[in-house]
Amino acid sequence: MKKSLTLVATLLIGVSAFAQQALFNGAGVESPVINPDGSVTFRYQNRKAVRVTLSGDFLPVQHLEFEMNGQKMSYDAPGVAELRENNGVWEYTTPFAVEPEMYTYTFNVDGTQEIDPNNVFVNRDIASLTSVLLVPKEGARSDLYAVHHVPHGTVSKVWYPSATAGFDRRMTVYTPAGYEDNPKAKYPVLYVLHGIGGDEDAWVTQGRATQILDNLIARGQAKPMIVVFTNGNISEEAAPLENSTGYTRPTMSLPQTMEGTFETAFPEVVKYIDSHYRTIAKKQSRAICGLSMGGFHTLYITLNNPDMFAYSGMFSAAIGTGSEQTATHKEIYENVDGKLATYFSKKPAMLWIGIGRTDFLIQSNNEFRAKLDAAGYPYKYMETDGGHIWKNWRIYLSEFVPLLFK
């Protein structure tokens, strides 16, 4: 018996020592490395690999084409660079200083896409994993995406009952620094919506929204506000592995995304927030914005609830894709001209539109702006470089938020 216990103890000590060695020794190479001249070096260790490439949105873009509803469109895909091998370590250094920004990248090893094994910072976008590169710089916009020594808000995962869905659903709620300390203070509310395939975590992880909010509020560039990040997939309870379906692979092909149910159900969210948080429960103290599918939702939630939001922001809005014609709740998308007239007759504080010059949705957004121009409806517009990418959506959020609740 004593011999058995001794053997087990020896094995446990050995396993523990091996785990600690792996923990403290690491993989042996450092990647990525931001160099003094601003260039970035990437390394991948694999003696058996034949070819290793790097794909990242900091590299010159690839212009690719696709077809949607019989119409040819193009989009920008991350650029690709070759790594060179030296004694089993593959390496690539950008021949330029990488502009301050938050980027994602992957390696392709003999035809298989991999994240950087030496970079623990990983991003999930629907069912794809990518490694994260954050290049901050004081005074640059990307400095908003970094964590600084400023007062921080609280981020909560909140479940609420949805009568429309027939089950409880989850959202992420940001309350600004000081919310818990002053029980009499009330705050305006911003609702932020994600794109297709995303969820209530997308803006917090990929969009760096809480860092943007903390920093803008701390600088006095934005008013303290409650921010609600909803899950726009009304058939889903919550983000993957955070719901009762367990290990279900995330997908863009979900039912009830752009067919009117989410827009119909949205007043449930507003009602819940107003009844559970110290909000200023009136139109002038509410704002809504969203990217891609979330921009689509923003437009139609706004038009169907003209007394609910004073500020609306459409970021690369997925309008004009044909979803409106095939929707279950066609009434949500009908009579747009009449709904626009009603909306603007109530004098909203701001309609804000942002899109990239090479975004595949820019034509439909331009057509919508032409409609606004023809009717003399006011709006603010921002056009940036690049396409349908998180870099642009972070820019739009950081531009939109300081304009709210003036």
Mean pLDDT across the chain:
89
Strand partners, 255: none
Query: What confidence score (pLDDT) does residue 9 get?
Result: 42
C-alpha distances (whole Å) from 72 to each of 58, 75, 188, 361 are 26, 10, 42, 12
Please write the tens of the pLDDT for every residue from 66-87: 665 555 555 667 889 999 999 9
Q: Is the pLDDT of residue 108 over 90?
A: yes
Per-residue model confidence (pLDDT) at position 73: 57
The answer to whether the beta carbons of residues 32 and 103 sit under 8 Å apart is no
CATH architecture of 27-135: Sandwich (2.60)
Secondary structure class of 363 (helix, strand, coil): helix
Mean pLDDT for 308-312 is 98
- 3-state class of 125 per DSSP? strand
- pLDDT at residue 174 is higher than 50: yes
Stretch 100-126: mean pLDDT, rounded?
93
pTM, entire model: 0.86
Task: Take residue 113 and report the two structure tokens written for it.
Answer: 């896409």
pLDDT exceeds cutoff 70 at 8 = no
Read off the tokens for 106: 């992957």
Q: Of 327, 284, 336, which is closest to residue 309 (Cα–Cα)?
A: 284
Confidence at residue 24, expressed as pLDDT on a 0 to 100 scale: 42
Higher pLDDT, 351 or 15: 351
**Lowest mean pLDDT segment, chosen from 18-27, 313-322, 392-401:** 18-27
The share of the chain scoring above pLDDT 90, in percent, equals 75
pLDDT higher than 70, residue 25:
no
The pLDDT value recorded for residue 323 is 82
Banded pLDDT at 344 (limits 50, 70, 90): very high
Q: Options 1.20.1050.10, 3.40.50.12500, 3.40.50.1820, 3.40.309.10; which CATH number does 144-403 get?
A: 3.40.50.1820
Q: Taking residues 183-199, report their average pLDDT.
A: 95
Domain segments of the chain as ranges:
27-135, 144-403
* Per-residue model confidence (pLDDT) at position 321: 86
Supply the pLDDT for residue 239. 83
Judged against a pLDDT cut of 50, whether residue 6 lies above it is answered with no
Q: Is the pLDDT of residue 30 over 60?
A: yes
Confidence of residue 196 (pLDDT cuts 50, 70, 90): very high
Order the strands of the 286-291 sheet from edge to edge.
154-162, 167-175, 226-229, 189-193, 286-291, 311-315, 350-356, 380-384
**The pLDDT of residue 7:** 41
Q: Is the pLDDT of residue 128 over 60?
A: yes
